Structure 1
Amino acid sequence: MLNISEIIQTVKQLIDVRVQLVKDEINETIASIMARIFLLLLMMTVSVMVLLFASFSLAFYLSEQMYSTYKGFLYVGLLYLLVFILIYFLKDYRGIVASFQRFLKNFVFGGRHKED
Structure 2
Amino acid sequence: MLNISEIIQTIKQLIEVRMQLIKDEVNEKISTIMARIFLLLLMMTVSVMVLLFVSFSLAFYLSEKMYSTYKGFLYVGLLYLLIFILIYFLKDSKGILGSFQNFLKNFVFRGRNKED
Instruction: Give TM-score, length-normalised by structure 2.
Output: 0.94
Given that 2:29 and 2:112 are in contact with CA atoms closer than 8 Å, whether structure 1 keeps it comes out as no
Report the counterpart of residue 104 of structure 2 in structure 1: 104
Report the counterpart of residue 5 of structure 1 in structure 2: 5
Report the counterpart of residue 78 of structure 2 in structure 1: 78
Deviations 1:62-110 (A, max 9, x none): 0000000000000000000000000000000100000000000000011
Mapped to 1, the partners of 2:37 and 2:57 lie a distance apart of 30
Question: 1:112, CA displacement in angstroms?
Answer: 3.8
Report the counterpart of residue 62 of structure 1 in structure 2: 62
Structure 1: tracts of 5 or more residues without a match: none
Look up the SS of the partner of 1:3 in the other structure: helix
Deviations 1:3-39 (A, max 9, x none): 1111000000000000000000000000000000000
> CA, structure 1 residues 76+55, in 2 after alignment: closer, same or farther (shift >3 Å)?
same
AA aligned to 2:41 is L
For the aligned residue pairs, the C-alpha RMSD in angstroms reads 1.5
Structure 2: tracts of 5 or more residues without a match: none
Mapped to 2, the partners of 1:37 and 1:79 lie a distance apart of 30
Q: Once the two structures are aligned, what percentage of the paired residues are identical?
A: 84
**2:36 matched to 1:32?**
no
Q: Across the two proteins, how many residue pairs are aligned to each other? A: 114
Question: 1:113, CA displacement in angstroms?
Answer: 3.9
AA aligned to 2:42 is L
Instruction: Give TM-score, length-normalised by structure 1.
Output: 0.94
Q: Which has the higher helix share?
A: 2
Report the counterpart of residue 50 of structure 2 in structure 1: 50
Deviations 1:33-67 (A, max 9, x none): 00000000000000000000000000000000000
